[in-house]
Amino acid sequence: GAVVSQHPSWVICKSGTSVKIECRSLDFQATTMFWYRQFPKQSLMLMATSNEGSKATYEQGVEKDKFLINHASLTLSTLTVTSAHPEDSSFYICSAPSLGGGETQYFGPGTRLLVL
């Protein structure tokens, strides 16, 4: 089946630094990818929709200048957490729908971010 990878799987950084998380579709093309955030013992919250070749669409309450999304190719979307603070510590998960906008969503394994 289709696979979505994320890199890194975990990262620890100092407050104030920026962290880039990559989401790759390994054996299929994805014109759209989704970024979710999950705080401990909570559910997944959709942050934004990443669109290849155009600007990302952010959900209400998500700061677009803080969470920069770039979808540079049909297989790669990146999420950059700028000037990270401890409250940004979370589990970040991406997903990509199957080609053609089908129902099946393929989720990445997630990236755990800890900001000290």
Binding test (CB under 8 A) with other proteins, winner from 49, 70, 82, 89 = 49
Q: What is the identity of the amino acid at 22?
A: E
x-or-dash pattern for other proteins, window 3-42, by CB under 8 A?
A: -----------------------------x-x-x-----x
Cα 18 off chain centre by: 14
CB of 66 to other proteins, least distance (A): 19
For residues 31 and 51, is the Cβ–Cβ distance under 8 A? Answer: yes
Binding to other proteins by residue 103, rule CB under 8 A?
A: yes
Three-state secondary structure call for residue 88: helix
Backbone CA torsion sign across 54, 110, 60, 97 = positive
Q: Name which of residues 54 to 73 contact other proteins (CB under 8 A).
A: 59-60
> Pairing relation of β-strands 111-115 and 105-107?
unpaired
Candidates 14, 43, 86, 87; binder of other proteins (CB under 8 A) is 43
Binding other proteins by CB under 8 A: which of 12, 26, 46, 114?
46
